[in-house]
Amino acid sequence: MSIDLKTVKHISKLSRISLDEEKAKKLETDLNSIFKWIEQLNELKTDNIEPLSSIVETKLRLRKDEIKSKNLREEILKNSPEENQDFFVVPKVVE
């Protein structure tokens, strides 16, 4: 299965990474060579194999739903590129 330029642009949209034409073409070449190499996985029959998503296969721990940290507003906002009156500022999203 090969990846065409249209697909590269679609993935770039999904990834929220803008690409110029030159970069998109370069990525088309790179991704095709990488996926051609990845295709070797198809040699393996895996129909009845249970997928492994985490190596720690114990149940996740439960904890009480209680507040442990407080008054972090300043810390949370400290690294924001733009803030106003304790809010993160983004470009206008409603008309």
Partner 1 sequence: MSNIIDLSLAELVSNIKNKKISSFETTTAFVDRSKKSKKLNSYNEDTFEIALEKAKQFDSNPDFNKKLPGIPMAVKDLFCTKNIKTTASSKILNNFIPTYESTVTDNLWNDGAILLGKLNCDEFAMGSSNETSYFGNVISPIDKDLVPGGSSGGSASALAAKLTPATIGTDTGGSIRQPASFTGTVGLKPTYGSCSRYGIVAFASSLDQAGPMTKNVEDAALLLEVMSSFDNKDSTSVDFKRPFYSKDLSKNIKGKKIGIPKEYRVDGMSQEIEKLWDDGKKYLKDCGAEIIDVSLPHTKFALPTYYIVAPAEASSNLARYDGVKYGFRTDGDNLIDMYEKTRSAGFGDEVKRRIMIGTYVLSSGYYDAYYLKAQKVRRLIKNDFNNVFQKVDAILTPSTPSSAFKIGDKSNDPVSMYLNDIFTVPVNLAGLPGISIPAGLDKKGYPLGLQIIGKSFDEQNILNIAYSMEDKINFKFNVKEWWMND
Residues that bind partner 1 (CB under 8 A): 3, 7-8, 11-12, 14-19, 27, 30-31, 33-34, 37-38, 40-42, 44, 46, 49-56, 58, 60-61, 63, 72, 75-76, 78-82, 88, 90-93
Scanning the chain, the segments in alpha helix (DSSP H) are 5-14, 21-38, 73-77
Q: Kindly state the smallest distance separating residue 84's Cβ from partner 1, in Å.
A: 13
Q: Kindly state the smallest distance separating residue 86's Cβ from partner 1, in Å.
A: 13
Beta bridge partners, 83, equal 88
Q: Kindly state the smallest distance separating residue 59's Cβ from partner 1, in Å.
A: 11
Amino acid at 93: V
Residue with tokens 């370069």: 26
Contacts of 5 (CB under 8 A, 6+ apart): 24, 25, 28
Which CB atom, from 25 or from 76, has the smaller least distance to partner 1? 76
